A and B are shown apart, each in its own frame.
Chain A
Amino acid sequence: MDIRLENVSHSYDSFEVMRDISLEIPHGRIVCIVGPSGCGKSTLLRFIGGLERPKQGRVLQVGTPPADCLNPLTYIFQDFALLPWRSVAGNISLVLEDHGIKGAAAKEIIDDVLARTKLTDFAKALPKQLSGGMKQRVAIARALAVNPAVMLMDEPLSALDSQTRELLMDDLVSLWTRTPFTAVYVTHNLAEAVRLGHSIVVLSRRPGQIREIVHLDTPLAERQFGDPELDRQQRHLWQLMRDEARAADAELLDV
């Protein structure tokens, strides 16, 4: 299943947030969206996920999601959004219960996603006992449990320290390599973008417009720390963004 955005524009009252964005998110690819703060990256993600409606333009699902897909468009949040009163397994079971998956069937799925995210030993732990990186792995496991057609990742690593970030990026890469998934990955961190994105969409500052789409051909598994080609791409992205970011930073906050 693909996602297509057609001429999406949005404004809050007279405050224009984004202008005329058209974008294709092809099946089995990770599309990163980068841009200075306030450019509407997260808003765009909420449009794709159906949590918010754009003023103009359309968000389309192209094709039908696979039959075993419980929740085609599935989020992973920056703040993890785990229920603190449920255990790791309970948090995953939460999203299965409403689909009538209980008991042994649920256990099978939970065991599988926990194994894939290397959390098998922590099934009974409460969120308060987990580190930030582990919490985000639980959130990823939860997302995997509903077998999503598209994963919508809203700065998933921004709340984590840099070592944990590296480790989780490795985890995401190996997850994708085993079973490629479609994802829209919003971040302000260019290193994450060049590491995880098959294509990188650079948005301008407000009102957000597409400045450039960068395609990276190096397979995800081969992208290494300090790869000169990636560094070059990251520098290129930074050059695109630097002036935008500076201008955005100098703007008065008007919210």
Chain B
Amino acid sequence: MSDTTLSHPPAAARTEARTVSFRGGGFAPERKRWVGGVVFVLLIAIAEWGTRAGWISALTLPKPSDVLQTLIDLHQSGLLYKHLSPSLSRLVVGAALGASFGIGVGVLIGLFSYVRAGLVPLVAAIFPIPKIALLPLFVIWFGIDEGSKYALIAFGTFTPTVVATYGAVDNVDRSLIRMGQSFGLSWLSIVRKIVLPGAMPGILSGLRISLAIAIILLVAAEMLGAEYGIGAYILEAGALYDLERLFAGVLILSVLGVVVSTVIGLVERHLLDWRS
């Protein structure tokens, strides 16, 4: 179309014509779904080959097929569910307690300057405490049975949730709050209809981290006084130096992590589909 508006260049210049070389592209991550799976399969295949051929000793890695067999045995003997159900209930109760308290306190910190001034240093002080170190104390406070396990997981999920929540409340678009005020919305309406939904993306991404921490703490919680549970199973396998069971247990935890992450992803897609 430029031909219609521009006069032709002189013939001498035209002989120099060359395609402009391309130098853009790259630096944009693309979705390559299958690569992750291939890496997994490849690593497992190498481990299986190595353990069968003997150049990976039985002391170093278990045979992946034996791990699979262990999982099948666990399922068939029903032991899997005997271990899984107490763990899941600990995870659900502990994480629900920790996350709901965390969101509550985080919102209060985000809304009230006095609460912020009073609690932010406290949260900063308890955040880095390895919660595992407090386990013996929790046993005294909450008893050796489920109480101390709920408390440990709740405590561990509480602090990251608080930090994520008040950060999210801080990041709510102030112009939306001004809008609410300019329409004479009540304080409660502004919190309920503008601040909380606006903070939801931050809260959910905080929960992603908190729940991963909850799974990590599950193993720690089951160190003391747990006969059944995935964590107890892993610790027992470690004490027995039973690598097949150890890996089977770790695999269950990984699956649990993937499931939790997927669930949060679904919740995000459902609750946050307004995001562009």
Contacts and interface: CB of A to CB of B under 8 A. Distances in A.
Touch test A–B (CB under 8 Å): yes
A51 interface: yes
Contact of A83 (B184, B193, B273, B275): B193
A209 interface: no
Interface string A54-72: 0000000000000000110
Q: Point out which of B175, B179, B181, B272 has the most chain A C-beta atoms below 10 A from its C-beta.
A: B179
Q: Point out which of A51, A70, A84, A146 has the most chain B C-beta atoms below 10 A from its C-beta.
A: A84
A94 interface: yes
A85 interface: yes
Contacts of A97: 189, 193
Contact of A79 (B175, B186, B272): B175
Given A71-B183, A98-B186, A81 B175 contact: yes
A146 B183 contact: yes
B182 interface: yes
A51 B183 CA distance: 11
A128 B193 contact: no
B274 A84 contact: yes
Contacts of A70: 184
Contacts of B200: 85
Nearest to A87: B274
B177 to A, nearest CB: 9
Contacts of B275: 84, 128
B197 interface: yes
Nearest to B177: A81
Q: Point out which of A51, A71, A85 has the most chain B C-beta atoms below 10 A from its C-beta.
A: A85
Given A81-B176, A94-B193, A97-B189, A75 B274 contact: no
B194 A83 contact: yes
B197 A85 contact: yes
Contacts of B189: 97-98
Contact of B179 (A81, A84, A85, A127): A81
A86 B197 CA distance: 10
A74 B193 contact: no
B90 to A, nearest CB: 33
A95 B183 contact: yes
Nearest to A94: B193
B138 to A, nearest CB: 39
B218 to A, nearest CB: 33
B182 A75 contact: yes
Nearest to B194: A83
Interface string A103-145: 0000000000000000000000011100000000000001000
29 contacts: A49-B182, A51-B178, A51-B181, A70-B184, A71-B183, A73-B182, A74-B182, A75-B183, A77-B175, A81-B175, A81-B176, A81-B179, A83-B176, A83-B193, A83-B194, A83-B197, A83-B198, A85-B274, A86-B274, A94-B180, A94-B185, A95-B185, A98-B184, A98-B186, A126-B273, A126-B274, A128-B275, A142-B183, A146-B183
Interface of B: 175-176, 178-186, 189, 193-194, 197-198, 200, 272-276
Given A71-B184, A73-B182, A85-B200, 5 more contacts: A83-B194, A85-B272, A98-B185, A98-B189, A128-B274
